[in-house]
Structure 1
């Protein structure tokens, strides 16, 4: 039973008929090439005056090879490869479904595309001829059994008995012969379609170099997405944490300390403006625009970051050794984000507690250390109540430092949570 089902599957699968259409389209496209070259060949043959010089068949045979050469040259036209790939995806089921086909950019890819066009259009032309002859002869054979004048119906057909009327037995057997011929055409087309499905990834699919380039592009895209996610997490996360603490504190003392409430609301407005500018900057990066409203912050803005954290109520002690202006731009920007995320983690997980920030800048290296007291040492990513917070902040800081060749240490010891980051740019100069 499975063998019979497998044998009959080409008759019932929709792929057989969509691939049939794909091949016929190839034959239709091939006809202008062949006719144009055949007309030119017939004119050349006629001028020679040799035997058979006026035969259309001879012109077609002579013009077949030049027509296929023109078909192959079509692969050098822009868009031909991608158009062929779209047609294959639509009609040749199972071929190029998961392949990213780019426009031909190398001589080798154009040659593969040209070979595909030659195979597709020549096979399509053969299938067109087989379809016309096969369907016509099948219909003639099927009608022979009931036609009042079978001899006239058979005239000009491929019936092997010539012009003589068919015998009664032959008339009875003719519909079965017609059905067998129709099945032969369908199975032939199914085989040709399956062959095209196997050839399409080889000739139209990406080469090894194109696959490598696509993989590299995906890696770069993923890295850029991770970078933008870190920017949003660090900048917007810091602002939201500060706003949440300030709003909660202001709500508790709104009746007893109006002056503090006013100050907290002003700080919230400032944080919101800063967050909006940072968000506009990141959205500009997503749209591939030049940032115009929010230059990237670096260690030159560290004092503003410390003051904004103090406005929330945290007692921040900042100790800066060396000249932050001497730090290379990319290191300065990433170090600022690390300080921002470190202070944000203190506010989010410990609240407005005393914080010590120490920055030491050397000739070719810097070190940042942020410490705050903690009553209950908690693992990385744990919240104030010991709940897991996901650890995205520490993971983002670690990613930043690994890109710079730096190191990150974070953990609780002796009642203190300590975060330490070190970066050296000696080898980069």
Structure 2
């Protein structure tokens, strides 16, 4: 018996499936949407072909009337399909009642036109089939109770009714047959629409490629913001931590220096808060966010001074004209210097640091050196993952065509950035 269960289940599935009735509703909506077009086309074609008909039968008997009605109706539906909002509405309606669709937008208007014609035509057919089939089923179902069977006329058509039955008891089984035939017809029509929807409403390969490029660009921008936040806030937190520790240590012996450190803590915190607000505003993308110019090598003095205010002995050697460095390279070099100093403050606090910047036409070399902590004389080893800070610096250097090396020795740790670019005449 089990081998009969699957075919039987498949046969009965359209009767109990919610998709059948959702698609039925979708078809009925299509038929309802067609009625205004049909009425407008019929009125216009009547005025054009038979402005003063003697009888309704004379007007409706003219084949030119129906041909013109079809032409006008098709034109009106096509014009509606060219409206951008039409595709959006059809997409939402099909996604809710037919099948899940890729939300990627598409600009293919001819496919929208084909889909709208298909939806409205099949919808009207489903409306008529529903009206006729359910009416006939009702008439057949009450056939055994009818005192005098006779055919039922509706408009110009004489329907099957129960007047042609050889025996009234055949009415209920035939009524059930009408209902089942209607349901299976609707299920088949809805299935065909579901199969056609992704091809006519879904995105084309070109649309998907454009959406993928947009998504990749958005991810790259978010990654850039993540690096900016990591470098800016990481440096600010490291500076604040060291300045707070220094202020606490010197509050009794050197209160002036402690107060100065607390002032710099407030300044650093305000700057970090502004950077965070700016990044969050860009991520929200709902309100325009004023963009402050990002720091570059021109702000290197402020960076070194903030580091020195932590009580760290930082020696700077700047050779060459940093203003000749291209803007993008200047900004990224500043961020790399900021992250390198942050790493040095984190892993070797209160140790003397050296920053050397050497620029020549078309070349730049940045080196930051810090001694290893006194607790070890072994060569400094990075964490297995390389640390997010070092990895972020390497990513920045790679994106601007430079190289970043980290070289531990017995007593010191060296971070070196080397950049080259083509000088513009």
Tell me whether the two structures share a fold, i.e. TM-score over 0.5. yes
Which residue number corresponds to residue 59 of structure 2? Answer: 54
Q: Secondary structure at the match of 1:54?
A: helix
Partners of 1:300 and 1:212 in 2: CA distance: 40
Check whether the contact 1:411–1:419 (CA below 8 A) recurs between aligned residues: yes
Residues 298-377 of structure 1 aligned to structure 2 (within 5 Å): 298-374=296-372, 375=376, 376-377=378-379
Residues 27-426 of structure 1 aligned to structure 2 (within 5 Å): 27-46=31-50, 53-55=58-60, 58=63, 59-60=65-66, 62-92=68-98, 94-96=99-101, 98-102=102-106, 104=107, 109-151=108-150, 158-159=159-160, 163=163, 166-167=165-166, 170-283=167-280, 285-286=282-283, 287=285, 289=288, 291=290, 294-374=292-372, 375=376, 376-380=378-382, 382=383, 391-426=387-422
Distance 1:299 1:71, change over 3 A: same
Which residue number corresponds to residue 385 of structure 1? Answer: none
The 10-residue stretch of structure 1 (300-309 or 389-398) with the greater mean CA deviation from structure 2:
389-398
Q: Render the CA deviation track for 1:369-424: whole Å, top value 9, x for unaligned.
A: 112122354544x4xxxxx7882222222222222111111242333222111122
Check whether the contact 2:304–2:314 (CA below 8 A) recurs between aligned residues: yes
Check whether the contact 1:379–1:411 (CA below 8 A) recurs between aligned residues: no
Distance 1:101 1:313, change over 3 A: same
Partners of 2:39 and 2:289 in 1: CA distance: 55
- Aligned-pair distance for 1:339? 0.3
Partners of 1:216 and 1:391 in 2: CA distance: 30
Q: Render the CA deviation track for 1:49-101: whole Å, top value 9, x for unaligned.
A: 89974226854465224312321221112311111101111111x231x3323
- Aligned-pair distance for 1:270? 2.4
Q: Render the CA deviation track for 1:229-255: whole Å, top value 9, x for unaligned.
A: 111111121111110122123334434
Distance 1:45 1:277, change over 3 A: closer
Distance 1:320 1:26, change over 3 A: same
Check whether the contact 1:281–1:295 (CA below 8 A) recurs between aligned residues: no
Distance 1:428 1:413, change over 3 A: farther
Check whether the contact 2:246–2:311 (CA below 8 A) recurs between aligned residues: no
- Aligned-pair distance for 1:262? 2.0
Q: Secondary structure at the match of 2:115?
A: helix
Which residue number corresponds to residue 24 of structure 1? Answer: 28
Q: Secondary structure at the match of 1:312?
A: coil
Partners of 1:183 and 1:377 in 2: CA distance: 83
Q: Render the CA deviation track for 1:131-185: whole Å, top value 9, x for unaligned.
A: 1101111111111123334337689753377x56x44xx3212111111111111
Distance 1:152 1:190, change over 3 A: closer
Q: Render the CA deviation track for 1:297-333: whole Å, top value 9, x for unaligned.
A: 1111112211111111222121111111111111111
Q: Secondary structure at the match of 1:418?
A: strand
Q: Secondary structure at the match of 2:142?
A: helix
Check whether the contact 2:340–2:415 (CA below 8 A) recurs between aligned residues: yes
Partners of 1:113 and 1:422 in 2: CA distance: 55
The 10-residue stretch of structure 1 (280-289 or 221-230) with the greater mean CA deviation from structure 2:
280-289
Root-mean-square deviation (CA), in Å? 2.7
The 10-residue stretch of structure 1 (400-409 or 79-88) with the greater mean CA deviation from structure 2:
400-409
Q: Secondary structure at the match of 1:266?
A: helix
